[in-house]
Amino acid sequence: MTTFWDEQAATFDEEPDHGLREAGVRAAWAQLLLPLMPSDSSEVVDLGCGTGSLSVLLAEAGHHVRGVDLAERMVAAATAKASAAGVAAEFVQGDAAEPPYAPASADVVLARHVLWALPDPAAALKAWVRLLKPTGSLVLVEGHWSTGSGLKAAECEALVRAVRSDAEVTQLRDPALWGREISDERYLLVSPKRPQPRHK
């Protein structure tokens, strides 16, 4: 698997939603993700960060971003992208299913098109939730594609609800996000940590 993604690194950004090179696509992802950040300088962990496009987008908005990817060439590309943008996002090689970060160290755990590819999504989600601060949010972008691979929204929601009480799904049909019209299922799942009511 590592070899496969290393080989993909050179052309990964050719997909509009991977490279965010088109202004309209980049703006659409900014409009989607930035309002989900709980503060102006949130601690964000980007799991399976690829070439770091979303990490850099968030870092440019003032957030402190740490990214991890299994593929060494993806990490190298992400590091170079952050340097070129003049932001201080940090990238390391590692397993997104077992992130190398301290528990309760993130305001947001972000993963795009990662959960479906993991051998044990349920175990990965438990590890991801452990990274969150008490008021942290899990932000997932997933899909079920025309190839038959991926996770349907209902499947993903059930997995998340096994570890978090809240899960809100929004379908992502806007062509601006993908640089083209789509016919498969793509969605955003946000699991915020809501304040618990005080009992008398």
Which CATH number does the domain 2-7+24-93+106-191 belong to among 3.40.50.10860, 3.40.50.150, 1.10.620.20, 3.40.50.970?
Answer: 3.40.50.150
Q: Are 29 and 17 in contact (CB under 8 A)?
A: yes
> Residue 196: pLDDT above 80?
no
pLDDT of amino acid 198: 43
pLDDT of amino acid 1: 64
User: How much is the mean pLDDT over the chain?
Assistant: 93
For residue 37, with 0-12 CB atoms within 10 Å meaning exposed, 13-18 middle and 19 or more buried, which class applies?
buried
Q: Are 153 and 187 in contact (CB under 8 A)?
A: yes
Q: What is d(CA 39, CA 36) in angstroms, rounded to the nearest whole number?
A: 9
pLDDT of amino acid 193: 63
| pLDDT tens-digit series, residues 54-108 | 999 999 999 999 999 999 999 999 999 999 999 999 999 999 999 999 999 999 9
The total number of residues shown for the chain amounts to 200
